[in-house]
Amino acid sequence: MTTTSAPSTTLANGGPGLPQERRLVTEIPGPLSLKRLERKRAHVADGVGTTLPVFVVAAGGGVLVDVDGNSLIDLGSGIAVTTVGNAAPAVVERVSAQLEAFTHTCFMVTPYDGYVDVCERLAELTPGDHAKKSALFNSGAEAVENAVKIARVATGRDAVVVFDHAYHGRTNLTMAMTAKNMPYKHGFGPFAGEVYRAPMSYPFRDGLSGEEAARRAVDVVEKQVGATNLACVVIEPVQGEGGFVEPAPGFLPALAEWCRAHDVVFIADEIQSGFCRTGDWFASEHEGVVPDLVTTAKGIAGGLPLAAVTGRADLMDAVHVGGLGGTYGGNPLACAAALGAIEEMRAGDLVGRAREIGTLMRGRLETLQAEHPVIGDVRGRGAMMAIELCEPGTTEPDPVRAAAVSAYCHQQGVVTLTCGTWGNVFRFLPPLAISDALLHEAFDVVADGFRATA
């Protein structure tokens, strides 16, 4: 086993005080994690998978500590959730105070300030200076589904357009909107109707400019759906599960302009790309795109379940009273966490920090690409970066090599995630609280993984 610095003599609680080190004291997973994995197999449905079966007992900054005392560098952030870290002080303080006051009333029964405060912050932070309103939910899939409901009521139309490689959730409607079959859709149909798929701008694979790719997509929409039947276009400004596909410049503005010209609601799914992740508060801002509706979740609340639809006040108010809501949507604890997370983002200039992390990661990844022809593409923005692995000199996906490198990283104490339609993409989503030293050490391990699996 290896250590990168002197190991802590006692297991610290989570939070910023946790020693920021990679420390391996057992094999990964260790014996205590393996014991707990047996309990998981006995009591948790097999359909709930686990990427790395280590049981975490503390987390903070850029590390996760497991029950065996191993300290792992986190390049996943719980899939872009713990943007401000796993136990950011402002999140802990606000949630603790709210916990002592009350845990729930249901906003639809008796309201409370926290819910309104979050909606106010969302109006300030999301793109555009127009009048905005929000509704709060529990998960990203709920936010997407409710955004579609709002668009349908506001336009009086039914059809929804999504894109190749998209991921929007696991509810019936959002499974229909999601492109990838396994594991998200397989065997779960039939799915909701009136969902249509257009080709995504994928520069590595299609070689088109943004304007050319937009014309191709619009041509499909106009021929197969028709603008007069279309309620909304839903797109991730940088795709998540589909492979961190960053559309060519000009693609998103052209789509948004077409939507405006045809009174189609343009919905930006910023669930993975929002809240400082890409080096802007929201990825749509990179090209000055102002969506009609924005869906958010993941990084919004520092690890507590919260999601939102935010958008033009006239659209948000189109739905009849009682048509939006849910028992737990905008739970007081989650709202307190969101207010704390936003406070941390502003105070720590996490937009700027994401850009710094992006510069560091791109440099390391481009160096790796020069050394390993299997890396066909380096892409992404800010702290949302990816590499796509292909047979050298081709665009033929290489998911086997991706899996092998990821397994090596896991064994060496670095949490890595793969994604993409073909499972051949590494996505890197470190917490913005991580140090440069930990990032460099993590990418040293990634580099060793490529050499070890060559």
DSSP 355: H
Residue 396: how many CB atoms within 10 A of its CB?
11
**Main-chain dihedrals φ then ψ at residue 191, nearest 5 degrees:** -105, 170
Entry pTM: 0.95
Q: Are 386 and 425 in contact (CB under 8 A)?
A: yes
- What is the chain's length? 454
Which pLDDT does position 117 carry in this prediction?
98
Q: Are 137 and 147 in contact (CB under 8 A)?
A: no
| 224-235 pLDDT, tens digit each | 999 999 999 999
pLDDT at 205 over 90: yes
Which pLDDT does position 55 carry in this prediction?
98
| Span 272-296, average pLDDT | 98
| Span 177-183, average pLDDT | 95
What does the alpha-carbon distance between residue 116 and residue 136 come to, in Å, rounded to a whole number? 10
Cα–chain-centroid distance for residue 253?
22
Angle at alpha carbon of residue 196, lines to 192 and 202, rounded to 5°: 130
DSSP 58: E
Confidence band of 17 (pLDDT split at 50, 70, 90): confident
| Span 340-353, average pLDDT | 98
| Span 343-348, average pLDDT | 97
| 111-135 pLDDT, tens digit each | 999 999 999 999 999 999 999 999 9
Percentage, residues of the chain above pLDDT 90: 96
What does the alpha-carbon distance between residue 192 and residue 175 come to, in Å, rounded to a whole number? 8
| 400-422 pLDDT, tens digit each | 999 999 999 999 999 999 999 99
Q: Is 151 helix (H, G, I), strand (E, B) or coil?
A: helix
Q: Are 84 and 433 in contact (CB under 8 A)?
A: yes
Write out the H or E segment, with its range, that includes residue 73.
Answer: strand 71-74
CB proximity list for 212: less than 8 A, separation 6 or greater:
none
pLDDT at 8 over 50: no
List the structure tokens of 276: 């400082």
Residue in the block written with tokens 């991730």: 236
Write out the H or E segment, with its range, that includes residue 409.
Answer: helix 399-411
Q: CA 190, 194, 195, 199: dihedral to nearest 10 degrees?
A: 130
What does the alpha-carbon distance between residue 120 and residue 137 come to, in Å, rounded to a whole number? 15
| 164-175 pLDDT, tens digit each | 999 999 999 999
